[in-house]
Structure 1
Amino acid sequence: MGEMAFHEIRFPANLSFGSVGGPERRTEIVALTNGHEERRTPWAHSRRRYDAGLGLRSLDDVAALVAFFEARAGQMHGFRWKDWADFKSCAPGAAVSFQDQEIGMGDGVRRDFALRKAYASGPARYWRPVAKPVEGTVLAGAGHVELRAGVDFAVDMATGVLRFAAPPEAGAVVTAGFEFDVPVRFDTDRIAVSVASFQAGDLPQVPVVEVRL
């Protein structure tokens, strides 16, 4: 998706608060004649889906949703989405720290490091790329020493790439902490709302899907 097709604006966070969503994986399963099965996935990364309709509380909320939908030209332009269940580099109840996530190892030359978040369980670990950090929330360090934002490092908010003013020393663990949004688009070309049904508690379905950048 090109830069023109992505708008660096967040869907109203108060509307996404009540949404339901989470990661989706694709697995191809082939049953073998001996009763075993082969499993493989064409996706290196999961993709998240949400329903933006569930967070609507009033007709004013519906109007805000419709305005946002129109301004994005429906499915045309991507946008930022706050996933209230997963928007920090640390546990939901913890405070962001510069040592939350390991994003690389210094070699004395490299200055650019991409933000990422680990999901670990047992011996398995999945690294999720983080391309849309939230302005003013990114902390970083090298060799267990916290560095200063805007002085020792800068962050590209559109790509999630962190650039150090001086390359971290060889062998120094590079870490970061941050809040982040999910890059998404609407997964429908229409929003159907009836005032009577909305007042009766029937919420419109407004699917939103994560985009690859």
Structure 2
Amino acid sequence: MEEDYYLYTRKLFHRLSYVYDLTEIVLSGTRTKVADFIDAKEGSKILDVATGTGKQVFEFAKRGYEVVGIDLSESMLRLAVRNNRYNNANFILVDATKLPFKEEYFDISYISLALHEMPLSIRQEVLQEMGRVTRTDGTIFIIDYATSPKSRLARYFVHYIARVFESKYYPEFIHSDLGSLLKRQEMEVVEELSVIYGIFKIIKCVRR
């Protein structure tokens, strides 16, 4: 399963890298909302897991934070590095299940619109690693599809439309219990924010 995931993901995002930034037409305002919601303290060290082309990293970098973006896709990271204009933003090609950072190195870590691209086994390992490299008094943020949207429009989009263009791991994710998974990783949800008509959710967690 894991070997299939890595091969599938690298091929998928190699193809998507050429058009991925078109999603910014929809997500550009959400990048600002994420940074505002996270509201990091001055001097914070932030980790962006599955950074893609680095758009969320740039939003934090321009606010003066030290940010590291990591990703499995060389094609996506190539675009992130090419567009990087910040000395306080760095990108590393690395597997999120084996983060090359010491324990409690970051004040904040987050993963944006990527958990739904992973099978459960990988999802668990990624969250475990995020917890390991985040300070005990730090925070972890999950930005992804709302698995139980409140509005009828959002439910229809999440359960029917999104699965047309998302990866093969999406259907399992959208029917999974993300809250229970976070609890198993000793992450306590302390705040949530719905964005883009309730289709997506920003979840703030602390390590227990």
Q: TM-score range by the shorter chain?
A: under 0.3
Higher relative contact order (CA 8 A, sep 6+): 1
Structure with max Cα Rg = 1
Q: Structure 1 length normalisation: TM-score?
A: 0.25
Higher helix share: 2
